[in-house]
Structure 1
C-alpha cells in the first residue's frame, strides 16, 4: 500500500493486482488488446480503491505514446557494435521485457557520444536505454540534449540525475573473487581488465579486489595489474600467453569479465601452464560459456536478467509518471566455484 499522502503510482496498482506495470499502463490508457477482461476489471477496481488519479501530463504523454524504446550502444566505426556476450544477454532480456509490455525496441550504434542527442531527437521515443558507455560520457548528457525522452543507463556510476538506472554490485563481486583466491592461499594475484578511470564498473571491481586483501591484512603488489585493449577473448588469449613472462610470480588471475578470463585460460594452456594447478583463474558474469569450457570457470555471478528487467521497469515507470528515478538500483552477486581455481601449489 502507498504511504498516506503520497500519490498512487502504476507500480502501487501493479503490486496490489499481481500484474506488471505495463499491464496496468495498458488498462488505464485503454490499450486493451493484450489484457483479459478479468484483469481489466481487477486493475480498475484496485485503482479506484487506492485512489489513483492519472496526471494530466501523463495522459497527454500516453496519448502521444509511440511505444518505442531506443537502445543506444557504442559502435567502433564501421566495425559494428561493441557488443560482447554480457551485453548480448542484457539486450535479449530487455527486448523480451519490452515485448511483454507491448513496447518495441530500436537499436542504434553510436560512434561518437554526441550522436546520442541526435538519436533522441530523431526518433519518436518514449524512452531510451544507454548500455556500454563510459561514465564520463554519461555525465555529459543535459536536460536540453535529452528533451522529453526519459533516459536510463545500465552499468553506470554516473552521478547524472537524468540517467539513474540499474547495475550489479561490482565492488562486492570482485571482493568475493579475490577473497576466494586468498582463502586458497594465493598472494600473487593479477588483476586483468581494460584500462579504467576513477569511476565506473572496472574501477569498482578494482577497488573491491583490493579491499579483499586489506580485509585479511595482506599487501597486494599494485604492479600486478594487466591492462588489455578491450574486453574480448582475443585480448585475454594474448594476455594469457604473455602472463607468466610479464609476471612469473603469478599464481592466480582475476579477470573483470568471463570472456576475458576464458581467453586467459586458453593462453596459459597454449603455452604449457596448467589451470588451475599452476595458475587459478576467476571471471565475472557467469555466462553460459563458463560451463562449456575446460576447465569450467569459477566466476562471480551477476543477475543479468534481473538487472535488465529492473532497468526496463524503472524506465517505464519514469515514462508513465513523468518523474525521474531518484537513485540507481544495485542487484546482488555471488561467487560460483568451479574447476578453474585450486589451492596455491607454489
Structure 2
C-alpha cells in the first residue's frame, strides 16, 4: 500500500504539517532532531511523494515539453543527432527534478495546443525551421517559456542555444584543403538563406575563398539527411562528379551513408575520396574507416538549453542573446591527401 504523510506523522509522533514542511525543505520552525527523525522514517517506510499533489500545491506541473517536427500525423522521424540531444535533455531535466514529455508536431499551430493541453512549465523546440520559429507569437505560447535549439531565429520568445555552425564547416573544409583537395562536394539537405545548413554552407565557401580555391569547382549535392540518401549519393558520386576527391557532408549520418555507397561501387575511402562529417556521433568512431568529423557539444547544448528554460520557468534570468557553443575538428581515418597532387586534385590518370 502507498505510504502517506499521515503514516509518517503517526510513526514520528508529529503533525502532518510538520512532515510536509520537512519533506518540502521548510525547516525554519522544525527542530534539527525532528527533521532527522522524519527523514529517517521517510527512508524506512519508502515514502514517494505524489507528483500530482505536489504539482497542484506548487502550481507547477514539473513537465517540460520537447516538441519536434513530425512529417505527418502518424510519422515522427528523429535524426541520430536529435536522438542524442533528446537523451541529454531528459538527463538534465531529471537532475533538475522535472519530467520530459516528447510531442511530435506536424503543424506549428499545434504548438499552442501542446502547451495548453499538458499545462507545461516550459517547452524546448528541436528541429524546427527558422521561419516556423519566427512565426511563434505570445498568443500561441501564452505565458509558457519556450527555448529553441539550433535556431537562428531572432524571435525574442525563443532565445536558445546553438552550435557555431559557420566555424565548424570552415574547420572541416580547411582540413580538406590543407590535404590538397580542390574538388570538394558539399552534401547537404535543401536550405534557405538562414539556418544551420546555410551557416555551414557559408563556412564552406569562406574556407575555399581563404585558401584561394574556386567555389565553382566545388558542386553542391542536395540530399536528405539520412543514411539511405547518403548511400545513394555515394554510389553515383564519381559518375556525377568525376573530378571530385572529397566530400563535406553536413551530418555524420549522411557522411556514413556516402562512405558505404562509395564502398558499394568499389571506390576506396580515403584513398580515392575523402569524407568529412559534422556532429561526432558515437557511431563515427565505430565505422570503417573511422569518420573525420566536426564535434559539436551535444551535452552542453542540451544542458544549457534546459537551464535557460528553467531560469525562465522559475522566474529567473531572461536571456536576450543566443548561446553559441564552440566546435572542434576530430581527425580520424576517412581523410587523406588526394591520389593525384599534380595541380588539379583530380582523379588519377
Structure 2 unpaired stretches of 5+? 1-22, 27-31, 36-55, 341-349
Indicate conservation of the 8 Å contact 2:145/2:312, yes or no: yes
Instruction: Say whether 1:63 aligns with 2:58.
Output: yes
In the other structure, the counterpart of 1:162 is: 157
Change (3 A) 1:253 1:97: same
Give the drift of 1:123.
1.5
Aligned counterpart in structure 1 of residue 131 of structure 2, from 124, 131, 136: 136
In the other structure, the counterpart of 2:334 is: 340
Indicate conservation of the 8 Å contact 2:183/2:218, yes or no: no
Indicate conservation of the 8 Å contact 2:229/2:257, yes or no: yes
Give the drift of 1:221.
1.6
User: Structure 1, residues 52-73: CA drift from partner, whole Å, max 9, x if none?
Assistant: xxxxxxxxx9931111100000
User: Structure 1, residues 167-213: CA drift from partner, whole Å, max 9, x if none?
Assistant: 11100000000000000000000000100000000000000011101
Structure 1 unpaired stretches of 5+? 1-29, 41-60
Aligned counterpart in structure 2 of residue 195 of structure 1, from 166, 171, 190: 190
For residues 78 and 288 of structure 1, the distance between their equivalents in structure 2, rounded to whole angstroms, comes to 31
Change (3 A) 1:319 1:238: same
Change (3 A) 1:195 1:62: farther
Q: Give 1 or 2 for the bigger CA radius of gyration.
A: 2
Q: How does 1:118-133 map to 2 (within 5 A)?
A: 118-133=113-128
User: Equivalent residue of 1:77, what SS?
Assistant: coil
User: Equivalent residue of 2:177, what SS?
Assistant: helix
For residues 100 and 124 of structure 2, the distance between their equivalents in structure 1, rounded to whole angstroms, comes to 10
In the other structure, the counterpart of 1:306 is: 300
For residues 320 and 242 of structure 1, the distance between their equivalents in structure 2, rounded to whole angstroms, comes to 53
In the other structure, the counterpart of 1:110 is: 105
Indicate conservation of the 8 Å contact 1:187/1:220, yes or no: no
TM-score (norm 1): 0.81
Between the two proteins, the alignment pairs up a number of residues equal to: 294
In the other structure, the counterpart of 1:211 is: 206
TM-score (norm 2): 0.81
Indicate conservation of the 8 Å contact 1:74/1:110, yes or no: yes
User: Equivalent residue of 1:162, what SS?
Assistant: helix
In the other structure, the counterpart of 1:256 is: 250
For residues 193 and 180 of structure 2, the distance between their equivalents in structure 1, rounded to whole angstroms, comes to 29
In the other structure, the counterpart of 1:94 is: 89
In the other structure, the counterpart of 2:289 is: 295
For residues 298 and 254 of structure 1, the distance between their equivalents in structure 2, rounded to whole angstroms, comes to 10
Q: How does 1:260-279 map to 2 (within 5 A)?
A: 260-279=254-273
Indicate conservation of the 8 Å contact 2:230/2:258, yes or no: yes
For residues 242 and 217 of structure 1, the distance between their equivalents in structure 2, rounded to whole angstroms, comes to 28
For residues 279 and 232 of structure 2, the distance between their equivalents in structure 1, rounded to whole angstroms, comes to 21
Indicate conservation of the 8 Å contact 1:129/1:151, yes or no: yes
